């Protein structure tokens, strides 16, 4: 088994701030894609589809990391900590709500 890490980081922007938030998130892509162990790191936007009726936030990072250690190094990068502080936690940030979930393909 590969023991890869799969992360989804989803965001709901504050009213009228969705496009601005997408641009901020897209600016994180080139930095992260150069990190060791990053297999995929891409911003995606929710679309309506009749076979996908679950609840979700409108913007999501889909991430794949080679290992838990690589993912943890990413999470501790200054630019990632700064993003969460300024955009998710600070009152003047662009994010209304967010949710980060992490999975592994090691299911045994």
The per-residue pLDDT for 48 is: 87
Q: How far apart are the first and last CA of the chain?
A: 9
Q: How far apart are CA 86 and CA 79, in angstroms?
A: 10
Could you tell me the residue ranges of all domains in the chain?
Answer: 5-104
Q: What is the pLDDT along the chain (108 residues), one digit of tens a residue?
A: 579 999 999 999 999 999 999 999 999 999 999 999 999 999 999 998 999 888 889 999 999 999 999 999 999 999 999 999 999 999 999 999 999 999 999 877
The listed CATH number (3.60.110.10, 3.30.300.30, 3.30.70.100, 3.40.50.2300) that belongs to domain 5-104:
3.30.70.100
Backbone angles phi, psi at 52, to 5 degrees: -125, 90
The per-residue pLDDT for 1 is: 56
Helix (H, G, I), strand (E, B) or coil at 68: helix
């Amino acid at each position: 088994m590969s023991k890869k890490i799969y992360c989804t980081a989803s965001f709901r922007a504050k009213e009228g701030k969705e496009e601005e938030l997408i641009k901020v998130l897209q600016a994180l892509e080139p930095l992260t894609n150069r990190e060791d162990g990053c297999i995929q790191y891409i911003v995606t936007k929710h679309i309506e589809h009749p076979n996908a009726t679950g609840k979700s936030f409108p913007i999501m990072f889909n991430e794949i990391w080679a290992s838990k250690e690589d993912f943890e190094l990413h999470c501790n990068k200054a630019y990632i900590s700064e993003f969460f502080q300024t955009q998710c936690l600070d009152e003047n940030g662009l994010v209304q709500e967010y949710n980060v979930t992490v999975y592994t393909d090691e299911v045994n």
